Amino acid sequence: MKLILIKGIYILKAVDFFCGGGGMSFGMQKAGIKVLAGIDNEIACKKTYESNIKGAKFILADVFELKEEDLAENLNLKKNDDDLVLIGCSPCQFWSIINTDKKKSTKSKNLLVEFERFVKFFNPGYVVVENVPGVLRRKSESGLDIFISGLKKSNYSVHFEIHNTSDYGVPQNRKRFTLLATRMSKLPLFPKKLDFKKTVFDVLGVHNGFSRIDAGHKDTTDFIHTVPNIQPITLKRLQKVACDGGTRLGFSDDPELQLDCFIGRDSSFKDTFGRLWWDRPSPTITTKFFSVSNGRFVHPDENRALSLREGATLQSFPKTYKFFGSSHSAIARQIGNAVPPEYAKHIGLAIIENHSLSLS
């Protein structure tokens, strides 16, 4: 199949495994790559994905049960297609340094092995893998060693590195393992860093369309500038946390407000109850960014956690991106688990540039 050229951008086609709410797919579309489908076993992601990733199918499937031949028939995919990009951003809880229930996430540790089945079957022009840095630190156990070795044996040029998404237009410090592989050329393939970093002030605040709200505010519009309520004692604590980067040390000497678990541990877990800085990128937006006790997720100068839309904005989703879920935490999970679309866009642009050079 010939490449389609629209407004000077080559349109490759991609299939996004473990697509979630569509962060990677949206970024790839923004770069100029046609996304054929997103695959995920979470029905909760379906409406969010389909509402934002226009022209792409949402395939509800467990990758452990999905057959290569069935996917080929469903999407009319061919083997050895130079224009095909296969993307695998598998759930990363098992390899995360964040304290999660490893028993619940044990199955996810083998998802890279399952993704490899499809790479071997289709032999696409490009392969993308994005995950937490832990998959590289434990590359033998995660299957990454075998995955990379298999790519090289199939004559792929492989580049992998730990990137901070703040280097690519995302107003957030978020370190991610990213692997880009191609059999189209031996040219270097990696996203190009920008010469500036966006800060919280660049995207949040009244001057960016975020009205001042109190804890417990509910926004029933698609903007979802919604934030959970907090207990009166939590409000008292936040009132003592200095604006613009303050920490829980602001209330550590108050016997009424200090938590027992922090007594004598001022140097531990300092981000808990901490405020974001206006002039820096935010910390990593996790699935619990709506909770003041789960990290540095307090608004820089309002006494509340981040709203759903603020979390999505720090993940670089546009304000028009629609999220759907059965609860506040369900939507936050989609947001926190997503690949930041702006980072995905730069990955897509690197692939497009590599592809055009390989054909010249």
**Computed from CA positions of residues 52, 56, 58, 61, in that sequence, does the dihedral angle turn out positive or negative?**
negative
Cβ-based burial of 138 (10 A; exposed 0-12, middle 13-18, buried ≥19): middle
> Residue 70: its pLDDT value, please?
98
Q: DSSP per residue over 126-157, as a string?
A: EEEEEE-THHHHTHHHHTHHHHHHHHHHTT-E
> Residue 93: its pLDDT value, please?
53
Q: Which of 19, 89, 92, 243 is catalytic?
A: 92
Residue boundaries of the structural domains of the chain: 10-197+340-359
Q: Which of 28, 108, 7 is nearest to 64 (CA)?
A: 108
- Strand ordering across the sheet containing 57-60: 57-60, 34-40, 13-17, 84-88, 126-131, 175-182, 157-164
Q: Which of 234, 219, 202 is nearest to 307 (CA)?
A: 219
> Residue 97: its pLDDT value, please?
43
Please, which residues have CB within 8 angstroms of residue 119's CB and are 6 or more apart in sequence? 86, 88, 127, 150, 151
**Distances from the Cα of 328 to the Cα of 34, 308, 323, 324, angstroms:** 31, 8, 10, 9
> Residue 342: its pLDDT value, please?
98
Q: Which amino acid is at 79?
A: K
Tokens of 294: 């789960």
Q: Which of 44, 19, 20 is nearest to 36 (CA)?
A: 19
Q: What single DSSP character describes residue 280?
A: S
> Residue 6: its pLDDT value, please?
47
- Classify each residue of 233-257 as buried b or exposed e, where b means 16 or more C-beta atoms within 10 Å of its C-beta: ebeebbebbeeeebbbbbbbeeeeb
89 has catalytic annotation: no
> Residue 74: its pLDDT value, please?
98
Determine the Cα–Cα distance for residues 316 and 45; give it in Å rounded to an integer. 18
E strand or H helix at 17, and its extent? Answer: strand 13-17
Given a contact cutoff of 8 angstroms between Cβ atoms, the answer to whether 306 and 215 are in contact is: no
Please, which residues have CB within 8 angstroms of residue 73's CB and are 6 or more apart in sequence? none
> Residue 61: its pLDDT value, please?
96
> Residue 107: its pLDDT value, please?
53
> Residue 261: its pLDDT value, please?
74
Q: Which of 197, 223, 222 is nearest to 210 (CA)?
A: 223
**pLDDT in 10s for each residue of the chain, 360 residues:** 344 454 555 589 999 999 999 999 999 999 999 999 999 999 999 999 999 999 999 999 999 999 999 999 999 999 999 999 999 988 755 434 445 454 544 455 578 889 999 999 999 999 999 998 888 877 767 788 999 999 999 999 999 999 999 999 999 999 999 999 999 999 889 999 999 999 999 999 999 999 999 999 999 999 999 999 999 999 999 999 999 999 989 888 888 897 877 776 766 778 899 999 999 999 999 999 999 999 999 999 999 999 999 999 999 999 999 999 999 999 999 999 999 999 999 999 999 999 999 887
Determine the Cα–Cα distance for residues 140 and 28; give it in Å rounded to an integer. 29
Dihedral class, residue 101 (left if φ above 0, else alpha if ψ from -120 to 50, else beta): beta
Q: Which CATH architecture has domain 10-197+340-359?
A: 3-Layer(aba) Sandwich (3.40)
